[in-house]
Amino acid sequence: MPKVLHILNRPHFGGPILYAGSLIQSINKDFESRLLVGELSPKEEDATAILTNFGIKPMVVKGMERNISPWNDFKVYWRLRRIIRHYNPDIVHTNGAKAGALGRLAANHERVPVIIHTFHGHVFKAYFSRPVSWMFLQIERYLANITTKIISISKQQTIELCNEFHVAELDKIETIPLGFDFNRFVTDQAVKRKRFRDEFKISDDAICIGIVGRMVPVKDHKFFIKAISKILREAKVPIKAFIVGDGETRNAIEEYAVALGLPFTNEYDRKHQHPLIFTSWRTDIDCVFAGLDIVTLCSKNEGTPVTLMEAQAAEKPIVATKVGGVMDTVLEGETALLCEAGDLDGYCQQLLSLVHDAEIRHRLTTKSRSFVLKNFHHSEFIQNTESLYRRLIAATKK
């Protein structure tokens, strides 16, 4: 039985942990799999429960954390080499920048037959200054040379990796879209909607707008706050805005809301009288989507936004920025309205059009669920990844 060692940055909320968990659970019958994860940063929420639900108990690699520390990272590199040498995998499959760098270097020096890296996004744009972005790009180009195959999770990402940033040649990149089991976003929607709206004391006539995900600079929650402040002044119906998630920028975003005179409540409140609500992380994300009327995303850069897949499965209209893999995740004009990143007027105009017109909201949901189930179902994702594993292992035996 082939052995696969998966290495994940950290067990925090987001697409990568769902990707790794779903993959390991679904192909475990045909491959022996093990998962290594790094350590969480102080402000990151532990999502190990997601892995537990998949029946996975990860091994934590001490010192593998988000911050760059040459001496610490060097020690992690040697820890990974020892683990790889002991486990002797046929494949090392890395996810994320830090795990991808240290994991691939360690696997290469331990002469692992197949080394795979999945890009869940990239840090070449909208994350760092130009010199730092350039440095990371050179590192990724080097790492691509020691990688058997790079997995891109969207067509747009493949174009960026190959044609825009020249990380690797096209023949080294395999495009395998993400895929998940969306059943919980389809069932019992009315019950879940009532539960969510009762919890937050939401009237039937109120329109709920929600952004779901990590609170980090690239997600641009400041833009969302600025837009909500404007929309509240122009909307003709009651509005409730939700920020679902948490992270390093939360304090700054709360301070910005105060500066704009935008009152808010948080996860500890029980009355929720204000128009903006910070919920922190929620495990009942299916109930969240059921309760919302509009789902939005303001990112400056994206890999493949899982939240937009889930929103479409829950038949929610979307307003999002036209960045990264967003265009491959939605049908522009059919399941989502898109605008350029940073276009506040265009973004607010699109949100207000949905707020004021139930017919437009409904029109954007008629194809959403069927589109997601057809293009992002987990069975095809698993089948394509397993096929890639088998092909690459077979090639090493020739």
Tens of pLDDT, residues 216-264: 999 999 999 999 999 999 999 999 999 999 998 999 999 999 999 999 9
What pTM does this model have? Answer: 0.87
Query: Which pLDDT score, from 0 to 100, does residue 134 have?
Result: 84
222 vs 127, more confident: 222
Query: Which pLDDT score, from 0 to 100, does residue 127 have?
Result: 63
Unique residue bearing structure tokens 């996860």: 267
Within 10 angstroms of residue 206's Cβ, the number of other Cβ atoms is 15
Query: Which pLDDT score, from 0 to 100, does residue 123 have?
Result: 65
Beta bridge partners of 243: 211, 278
Report the alpha-carbon distance of residue 288 to residue 311 in Å, rounded. Answer: 10
Q: Is the pLDDT of residue 130 over 80?
A: no
Helices in the chain by DSSP H: which ranges?
15-27, 48-53, 70-87, 97-109, 130-145, 155-159, 189-199, 221-234, 250-259, 285-291, 306-313, 326-329, 344-356, 358-363, 368-375, 378-396
| Residue in 277, 272, 269 with CA at minimum distance from that of residue 243 | 277
Within 10 angstroms of residue 309's Cβ, the number of other Cβ atoms is 25
Query: What is the rounded average pLDDT of the residues 121-133?
Result: 70
Band (336; pLDDT cuts 50, 70, 90)? very high
Burial of 195 (0-12, 13-18, 19+ CB in 10 A): middle
- Reported in sequence order, the residue ranges of 236-305 that DSSP labels E, i.e. its strands, are 239-244, 264-265, 276-280, 294-297
Tens of pLDDT, residues 202-219: 999 999 999 999 999 999
- Report the chain's mean pLDDT, rounded to a whole number: 93
Burial of 64 (0-12, 13-18, 19+ CB in 10 A): buried
Q: Which domains does the chain have, with CATH numbers?
A: 3-181+377-396 (3.40.50.2000), 183-375 (3.40.50.2000)
Tens of pLDDT, residues 56-104: 999 999 999 988 889 999 999 999 999 999 999 999 999 988 999 999 9
Residue type for 311, please? Answer: A
Band (325; pLDDT cuts 50, 70, 90)? confident
**Which 3 state secondary structure label does DSSP give 393?**
helix
